[in-house]
Amino acid sequence: MTYCVAMTVDEGLVFLSDTRTNAGVDHISTARKMSVFEQPGERMLVLLGAGNLSLTQAVLHELSEPADAAKPTLWTAPTMADAARVIGEAVRSVHQREAATLQEFGVDFNCSFILGGQIAGNRPRLFMIYAAGNFIEASAVNPYFQIGEAKYGKPIIDRVLTPSTPLDEAAKCALISMDSTLRSNLSVGLPLDLLVYEKDSLRVTRFVSIDHDNVYFEMIHRTWGERLRQVFGEIPDPDWQASPEVPTLQRERALVLYRAPVGADGVEHELDMKPAQTLAQAEKGKAQRR
């Protein structure tokens, strides 16, 4: 499987991807999911891919070896939106060629991409491109995209990331998001590719491949787990009674209980369950029986 995340902040862009493509009991394989298209001083584009590996690689082949030299490419597109359209057209081309055959074998056409970067004369931009070739752009309201196993790493991003987040803090947030995903899903795995793009640099300035020996990522992994447990322990347990130290956790009064009928001897008999006593009614009945 895959987890890729990309973020756009005022200072630039952050891209992070894992490399695991298969995670069986005795068969683990890897492949890079980050591709960089760089012409220093003129453009710097990053493409992250998720889904069926043969399809994402087929799209990359379409982009690197276009059948029609007259059409725009990632090297000639004048804007990032035009570059996203180029990728969308490549996805549709692969779909036309492969989808019907895949369907015969019960395989869905499954691929998605994140494209980000900057072209000279334009601002940095970030796009999500779907399997139909359509796309959306990140914004101040939603300054990041995820593809693949997104759910585990989403909460930390939602709580931390804003457009004004410093670039290195955004990179740290992405790494914590990835660590949370690695912790909960074996189909995502090291090594990781991290690229941090500084606005208007128009070249790759910060890139690292992170493996098991990376000291900083090991510190992230250890410290994040320790601090989560620490904060969890510092939050008071629920208090069911009024307390000056802890806000009372109110009891739900509309709970429906099912109770066996009580005979004249005060003993509960056969399990002819009758619905719908509220918790308050049940407690009142207990008091009356006492």
- How many Cα atoms within 13 Å fall on the side-chain side of residue 2? 25
CA distance 202 to 40: 6
Q: The tokens 């869905």 sit on which residue?
A: 108
- Do 47 and 201 touch, CB atoms closer than 8 A? no
Residue 127's beta-bridge partner residues? 115, 137
| Segment of 57-71, 118-132, 263-277 carrying the highest mean pLDDT | 118-132
**Residue 21 backbone dihedrals phi, psi, to 5 degrees:** -120, -15
* Residues 73/79/84/90 CA torsion (nearest 10 deg): -10
Residue 15's beta-bridge partner residues? 6, 195
For 154, the token pair is: 């989403």
**Residue 67 backbone dihedrals phi, psi, to 5 degrees:** -70, -30
For 133, the token pair is: 């070739």
The residue with greater pLDDT, 257 or 5, is: 5
Q: How confident is the model at residue 255 (pLDDT cuts 50, 70, 90)?
A: low
Q: Name the amino acid, one letter, at 152.
A: Y
Widest pairwise Cα distance in the chain: 93
Identify the pLDDT of residue 276: 47
CATH 3.60.20.10 residue spans of the chain: 3-231
- Do 76 and 21 touch, CB atoms closer than 8 A? no
Strands (E) located in 142-266:
144-148, 192-198, 206-210, 257-259
**Cα angle at 208 between 202 and 210, to 5 degrees?**
155
Q: Mean of the per-residue pLDDT values for the chain? A: 89
At 217-254, the pLDDT tens digits run 999 999 999 999 999 999 988 887 777 777 777 655 66
The CATH number assigned to the domain with range 3-231 reads 3.60.20.10
Q: How confident is the model at residue 281 (pLDDT cuts 50, 70, 90)?
A: low
